Amino acid sequence: MNENENKPMHFIRQIIAEDIAKGLEPSAVHTRFPPEPNGCLHIGHAKAFCIDFGMALENGGKCNLRFDDTNPDKEETRFVESIKEDVHWLGFDWEDRLYYASDYFEKLYSLAEELIMSGKAYVCTLSPEEFKEYRGVPGQPGRPSPWRDRPPEESLDLFRRMRAGEFEEGAYVLRAKIDMASPNLHMRDPAIYRIKKAGHHRTGDKWCIYPMYDFAHCLSDAIEGITHSLCTLEFEVHRPLYDWFIDNTSIIKTLKVHPRQYEFARLNLSHTVMSKRKLQQLVADKIVDGWDDPRMPTLSGMRRRGYTPEAIKDFCETIGVTKFNSLTELALLEHCLRSDLNKKALRRMAVFDPLEVEIENWEDGKIDMLDAVNNPEDESAGSRKIAFSRRIYIERSDFMENPPKKFFRLSPGNEVRLRYAYLLKCNKVVKDAGGNVVKLLCTIDPASRGGSSPDGRKVKATIHWLSAEHAKPATARLFENLFTRADMTNLPEGSDVMDFINPESLSEREIIVEPALLEATPGTPLQFERNAYFTVDSKLGSREHPVFNRTVTLKDSYGK
């Protein structure tokens, strides 16, 4: 059976299936992911490239990675590298098909000259303000530029001189000659080339005119032989223009298949923003510590926080592909994350707020090495040894001197199970002069080694602990949502994203951890038992004093 038959149908799968039914070779399906290297990728981009690569892969076709680098002001090589790393991290590969729109600058330039010669483009002298004014508004036709009928030879001469650097920015633009009365503003003689005296991260100072995104994008698709050009809904209104550029240049003669664009809804996630401009602002204003801050919805931030590629891919598959804009609950992403982490995370013990316990019937200096299972969900993860000794730490919140009825953890006279170790009973509470509990005097049942109940007596609670002399100090970074408001796509009038920053999105705690945690590597999923999922931060801390990022809490509230 075809494995694709198990995948849920969505409109893009449907379209490709129909194209194949009409005779397209499945292996001819050719898509591309076209990021602009002006920022790091976010979870919305992951949705896009899971679709781009996914549609190609499931048909045995190809997907290119193409950097749409037509705006030199904002583009940087470090973003190129970070984007490549993120796509690979999710397990996708462009093989030998890594392209840049800037690779096609010469070709695009010659197609622009062609348009001029065929009377389908002209150099316009209107200022940017006049350009806008002449273009008009929807519902009313625009006015033709006085330069619209400039003879092709004259336009060609000016265009070549634009390229040669003879003019200042804004002095001229090259425009397509389409239809100033079109109800679609994008068809009202759009700009195709503008003068921009800016160095480019790849072509350096070679060019001082740059193609507009709308011109470069569709023609790059054509140059690369893209069959299905998949993108988000905001490009729907650009589609007639894309087709016009392809259909009115000689590129059309080279095509085996005409690229067709299909648009799907962007991912919007609650309590976060997804626009690169806004993410850039968070970085610039130092609200976060860089693009890869673990609170960011960027893939580099999520990786640092401990998200797994599998969880992100599962999420992208779960949300599906539609044409309707909506707001997806962050809780759904966290649900996908927890179900993956539950399978993979190494269970470890860490104590956040230590309370000392002295075990009166345990000899000073005696150490018992106990077996602790690394992952009850995965036998192959094996086990480790943990040290037990006379002085241990438990979590302060696991003890109550005067417990209410339903409190089954430690209290005077009550017995609990120490995870992997012994049954422990509290005999006496030691307090300081201020009446604060500083220590508990307890005994263990030597017959309960490993945590079993020797005579079958009921012990309702199991708590985690650390041997005092073996515990190591570490730092835990706890994250909350970056924004206090769920729907950040739709802000109340007059407000700005900055009005909804959560001042408590990061807090740090000094904690103690079991020695095995000093061996943990960044990205390895960990579960601090009874607490939350964590991973080691890739930038902060040291081997002796690691910093752990809380990936996500244990409790899943999605769908409840």
**Least distance from ligand ATP to the Cβ atom of residue 427, Å:** 59
232 lies in the site for ligand ATP, by CB under 6 A: yes
Structure tokens at 556: 């899943």
What is the CA 89 to chain-centroid distance, rounded? 11
Our CB check for ligand ATP shows the closer of 44 and 546 to be: 44
Amino acid 245 reads: F
**Least distance from ligand ATP to the Cβ atom of residue 320, Å:** 12
Determine the interface stretch with ligand ATP among 104-112, 169-177, 269-277, 382-390 (rule: CB under 6 A): 269-277
**Least distance from ligand ATP to the Cβ atom of residue 304, Å:** 20
Structure tokens at 429: 């509470």
45 lies in the site for ligand ATP, by CB under 6 A: yes
Our CB check for ligand ATP shows the closer of 158 and 316 to be: 316
Closest CA to 48 of 274, 250, 204: 274
For 510, the 3-state DSSP assignment is strand
How many chain residues touch ligand ATP (CB under 6 A)?
15
Q: How far apart are CA 443 and CA 447, in angstroms?
A: 12
525 lies in the site for ligand ATP, by CB under 6 A: no
Determine the interface stretch with ligand ATP among 29-37, 93-101, 123-131, 236-244 (rule: CB under 6 A): 29-37
Question: What is the biggest distance separating any 2 CA atoms in the chain, rounded to whole angstroms?
Answer: 102
36 lies in the site for ligand ATP, by CB under 6 A: yes
274 lies in the site for ligand ATP, by CB under 6 A: yes
Q: How far apart are CA 551 and CA 334, in angstroms?
A: 9
> Crossing angle, helix 43-57 and helix 309-319, to 10 degrees?
80
**Secondary structure (DSSP) of 212-229:** -HHHHHHHHHHHHT-SEE
Amino acid 419 reads: R
Closest residue by beta carbon to ligand ATP? 44
Our CB check for ligand ATP shows the closer of 24 and 41 to be: 41
Among residues 74, 148, 266, 396, the one annotated as catalytic is 266
Our CB check for ligand ATP shows the closer of 223 and 370 to be: 223
48 lies in the site for ligand ATP, by CB under 6 A: yes
**Least distance from ligand ATP to the Cβ atom of residue 190, Å:** 18
47 lies in the site for ligand ATP, by CB under 6 A: yes
Concerning whether 36 is annotated as a catalytic residue, the answer is: yes
Among residues 32, 62, 150, 276, the one annotated as catalytic is 276
What are the residues whose beta carbons fall under 8 Å from the beta carbon of 458, sequence distance 6 or more?
none
Structure tokens at 541: 């801390």
Determine the interface stretch with ligand ATP among 133-141, 272-280, 349-357, 367-375 (rule: CB under 6 A): 272-280
Concerning whether 202 is annotated as a catalytic residue, the answer is: no
Determine the interface stretch with ligand ATP among 40-48, 108-116, 325-333, 524-532 (rule: CB under 6 A): 40-48
301 lies in the site for ligand ATP, by CB under 6 A: no
For 240, the 3-state DSSP assignment is helix
Residue 148: exposure state from Cβ atoms within 10 A (0-12, 13-18, ≥19): middle
No. of helices (H) and no. of strands (E), the chain? 13, 25
Structure tokens at 349: 């013990």
DSSP 328: B
| Neighbour count for residue 510 (Cβ, 10 Å) | 10
| Neighbour count for residue 553 (Cβ, 10 Å) | 13
Q: How far apart are CA 63 and CA 224, in angstroms?
A: 10
**Least distance from ligand ATP to the Cβ atom of residue 459, Å:** 50
The contact mask relative to ligand ATP for 175-194 (x = CB under 6 A, - = no) is --------------------
Select the residue interacting with ligand ATP from 275, 453, 502, 524 (CB under 6 A): 275
**Least distance from ligand ATP to the Cβ atom of residue 47, Å:** 4
297 lies in the site for ligand ATP, by CB under 6 A: no
- Alpha helix locations (H) across 272-393? 276-284, 299-305, 309-319, 330-344
**Least distance from ligand ATP to the Cβ atom of residue 290, Å:** 17
Our CB check for ligand ATP shows the closer of 34 and 301 to be: 34
> Crossing angle, helix 105-117 and helix 152-164, to 10 degrees?
160
Answer left, alpha or beta for residue 51, where phi above 0 means left and psi between -120 and 50 means alpha: alpha
Our CB check for ligand ATP shows the closer of 157 and 496 to be: 496
Structure tokens at 71: 């705006």
Select the residue interacting with ligand ATP from 24, 32, 44, 547 (CB under 6 A): 44
Select the residue interacting with ligand ATP from 84, 120, 266, 449 (CB under 6 A): 266
Concerning whether 266 is annotated as a catalytic residue, the answer is: yes
Q: How far apart are CA 243 and CA 338, in angstroms?
A: 44
**Least distance from ligand ATP to the Cβ atom of residue 488, Å:** 12
Our CB check for ligand ATP shows the closer of 124 and 282 to be: 282
12 lies in the site for ligand ATP, by CB under 6 A: no
Among residues 36, 395, 514, 529, the one annotated as catalytic is 36
Q: How far apart are CA 55 and CA 313, in angstroms?
A: 14
259 lies in the site for ligand ATP, by CB under 6 A: no
Determine the interface stretch with ligand ATP among 42-50, 154-162, 250-258, 521-529 (rule: CB under 6 A): 42-50
| Neighbour count for residue 382 (Cβ, 10 Å) | 11
Determine the interface stretch with ligand ATP among 30-38, 104-112, 172-180, 435-443 (rule: CB under 6 A): 30-38
Q: Going by DSSP bridges, is the β-strand pair 532-541/462-463 parallel, antiparallel, or unpaired?
A: unpaired
Select the residue interacting with ligand ATP from 35, 152, 294, 309 (CB under 6 A): 35
Bridge-partner residues for 425, per DSSP?
415, 443
Bridge-partner residues for 368, per DSSP?
388
Q: Going by DSSP bridges, is the β-strand pair 437-444/354-359 parallel, antiparallel, or unpaired?
A: parallel
Determine the interface stretch with ligand ATP among 33-41, 292-300, 361-369, 446-454 (rule: CB under 6 A): 33-41
Structure tokens at 246: 């392809």
16 lies in the site for ligand ATP, by CB under 6 A: no
Question: Residue numbers of the site for ligand ATP (CB under 6 A)?
Answer: 34-36, 44-45, 47-48, 231-232, 266-267, 274-277
Catalytic residues: 36, 266, 276
